[in-house]
C-alpha cells in the first residue's frame, strides 16, 4: 500500500508531469492491457502516487455504478484503504489518483466514496426511483439498500415525506396577515417566541404558512438592522473554534440563525485560498459531469472538495463554462 510519505519534491512542472506520465501510461496500457505503476515510476522518475495523481487516461477506464445485487465490498474496501493510507485526516483526497489506482472513472469513484461514507444526495432522478419503488410496495429499508450500501432507511423516509407533503397555496390576504403579526412582535419578544405569538393569533395553520412565516422572520429587517450594530468578533471566534453553534449564538444574541449564519459563512470564505489547484479543479469538473442534467448542489460539491467554499465552487464552474473548459 502506498503511503503519503511516498511523495518527494520534484522540479518538473505539473503540466510536464501530466504529459510525460500520461504518454508513458498509454504506451504501457496499449502494450500490456494494464498499467504497472512500479514500471511507470521508474520510467518517469516520479513516485507511484505522484504518477497516479497526474495520469490522464479517463476514456480507458471502467464505470462503477452501484447495484445492490452485484456490489462487492472487496472493491469498496480496496478503495477506502487506499484513501485512508494516502490521504489521512483532513488531507484533501486526490480523486484522480484514486481513479487511476482503481482504474475506474473519476466521477464514479467520487460517488462511490461518498456512498461509503453514508452521504446521500436526493436528486430528482433519485427521488423518482424512491417514488417508483414505494408505489411497488417496497419498504424504506429495501429502497435504502437499492440506493446505497450504507444508507439509513430513516433518511429515505424523511426525503420521501418531504417530497410527498402537500403544500397548500397561500393567498395574498394570508401573507399580509402573517407579515403584520410578525411585524407586531419582532421587537417585543425574543426571536424564539415570535412564531409562537403569531400562531396563537392565527385561526388556522398549515405547513405552507409555517414555511412562509419562518422565512419572513429569519430575514426580517429588524434583525438585519440589529446585526449591523453588533460586534461579532468574540462570538465569531467561538463559533469558528467549535465552542458554539450558530443556532446557540443566535439565541444568545437574540437574532435569527439565518442572518448570523450568512455572516459566519462570509468569514469562513476568507479561510479558503482563492487559487484553485489542478486537483481541486478536476474534482469540481468530475462532480458536475457525474450529475449529467441534474442541477449542481454547490454546498455538497464544496464538501467533496474540502478546501473550497460553495460560493467559490459555483463561481469557478461559471468561469470554466464561460471559457468552454467544461
Grid cell, residue 276, equals: 484553485
> How many angstroms separate the CA atoms of 261 and 266, rounded?
9
- List pLDDT tens digits, range 59-87: 889 999 899 999 989 999 999 999 999 99
CB-based contacts of 58: which residues, under 8 Å, 6+ apart? 99, 105, 106
Grid cell, residue 121, equals: 444526495
> How many angstroms separate the CA atoms of 22 and 202, rounded?
67
- List pLDDT tens digits, range 99-115: 999 999 998 999 899 88
The residue among 265, 189, 179 whose CA lies nearest residue 221 is 179
pLDDT reported for residue 200: 92
> How many angstroms separate the CA atoms of 91 and 83, rounded?
10
User: What is the mean pLDDT of each successive set of 10 residues along the chain, which is 326 residues long?
Assistant: 41 74 93 93 93 90 92 93 90 89 92 86 87 93 94 91 72 92 95 94 82 92 88 81 87 91 76 83 86 82 82 91 82
pLDDT reported for residue 289: 84
> How many angstroms separate the CA atoms of 149 and 119, rounded?
10
Q: How many CA atoms lie within 13 A of 97 on its CB side?
A: 23
> How many angstroms separate the CA atoms of 256 and 254, rounded?
7
pLDDT reported for residue 184: 95
pTM above 0.85, yes or no: no
pLDDT reported for residue 9: 41
Cα 182 off chain centre by: 34
Amino acid at each position: 500500500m502506498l503511503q503519503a510519505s511516498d511523495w518527494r519534491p520534484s522540479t518538473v512542472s505539473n503540466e510536464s508531469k501530466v504529459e510525460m506520465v500520461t504518454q508513458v501510461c498509454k504506451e504501457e496500457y496499449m502494450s500490456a492491457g494494464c498499467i504497472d505503476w512500479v514500471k511507470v515510476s521508474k520510467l518517469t522518475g516520479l513516485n507511484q502516487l505522484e504518477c497516479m495523481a497526474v495520469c490522464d487516461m479517463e476514456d480507458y477506464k471502467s464505470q462503477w455504478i452501484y447495484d445492490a445485487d452485484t456490489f462487492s465490498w472487496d472493491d469498496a474496501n480496496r478503495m477506502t484503504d487506499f484513501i485512508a493510507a494516502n490521504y489521512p485526516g483532513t488531507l484533501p483526497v486526490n480523486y484522480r489518483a484514486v481513479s487511476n489506482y482503481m482504474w475506474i472513472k473519476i466521477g464514479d469513484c467520487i460517488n462511490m466514496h461518498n456512498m461509503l461514507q453514508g452521504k446521500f444526495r436526493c436528486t430528482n432522478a433519485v427521488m423518482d426511483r424512491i417514488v417508483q419503488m414505494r408505489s411497488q410496495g417496497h419498504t424504506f429499508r429495501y429502497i435504502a439498500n437499492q440506493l446505497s450500501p450504507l444508507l439509513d432507511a430513516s433518511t429515505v423516509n424523511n426525503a420521501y415525506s418531504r417530497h410527498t407533503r402537500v403544500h397548500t397555496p397561500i393567498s395574498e390576504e394570508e401573507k399580509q396577515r402573517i407579515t403584520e403579526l410578525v411585524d407586531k412582535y419582532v421587537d417585543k419578544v425574543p426571536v424564539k417566541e415570535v412564531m409562537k405569538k403569531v400562531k396563537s393569533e392565527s385561526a388556522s395553520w398549515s405547513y405552507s404558512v409555517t414555511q412562509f412565516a419562518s422565512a419572513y422572520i429569519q430575514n426580517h429587517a429588524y434583525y438585519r438592522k440589529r446585526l449591523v450594530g453588533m460586534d461579532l468578533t468574540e462570538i465569531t471566534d467561538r463559533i469558528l473554534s467549535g465552542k458554539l453553534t450558530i443556532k446557540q449564538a443566535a439565541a444568545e444574541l437574540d437574532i435569527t440563525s439565518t442572518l448570523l449564519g450568512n455572516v459566519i459563512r462570509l468569514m469562513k470564505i476568507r479561510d479558503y485560498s482563492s487559487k484553485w489547484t489542478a486537483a481541486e479543479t478536476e474534482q469540481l469538473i468530475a462532480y458536475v459531469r457525474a450529475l449529467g442534467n441534474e442541477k449542481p448542489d454547490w454546498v455538497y460539491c464544496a464538501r467533496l472538495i474540502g478546501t473550497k467554499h460553495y460560493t467559490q465552487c459555483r463561481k469557478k464552474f461559471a468561469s470554466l463554462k464561460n471559457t468552454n473548459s467544461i
